[in-house]
Amino acid sequence: MKAGVREVKNRLSEYLRRVKQGEIIYITERNVPVAKIVPVEESVKEEVLDMVERGLASWDGGKPAGIPNGPEISGPASIEALVSEDRR
């Protein structure tokens, strides 16, 4: 199904209900497709399987465990410093 940006904005709940039921919604701007809303299960499953097939990820079907030792972040010492820097 296709719907314009304004239509989707004004009736978002209805379109989300339709997506939950399995429908795919193409959002258009001046009749040109700009986005697609798909049910989460379909989208996530396709992306994960694509990454596994390309060798970018591995998955045993369980919940991700995370990274044991996260990356070190260098730069400003705090969020406050980042916000202050961004406001300049």
**Does 76 reside within a domain?**
no
Which 3 state secondary structure label does DSSP give 28?
Answer: strand
Q: Which one has a higher pLDDT value, 68 or 23? A: 23
pLDDT exceeds cutoff 60 at 80: yes
**Does 22 reside within a domain?**
yes
Cα end-to-end distance, the chain, whole Å: 45
pLDDT exceeds cutoff 80 at 32: yes
Average pLDDT (36-59) is 81
Domain count, the chain: 1
Give residue 76's pLDDT: 57
What's the mean pLDDT when you consider all of the chain? Answer: 84
**Does 20 reside within a domain?**
yes
Determine the structural domain holding residue 49 and report its residue range.
Answer: 2-53
**Does 42 reside within a domain?**
yes
Q: Is the pTM of this model over 0.75?
A: no
**Does 78 reside within a domain?**
no
CATH number at residue 38: 3.40.1620
Task: For residue 5, give every residue at least 6 positions away whose Cβ sits within 8 Å of its Cβ, in sequence order, or none.
Answer: 27, 28, 29, 34
**Does 77 reside within a domain?**
no
- Helical residues (DSSP H) of the chain, grouped into ranges: 5-10, 12-20, 40-53, 79-87
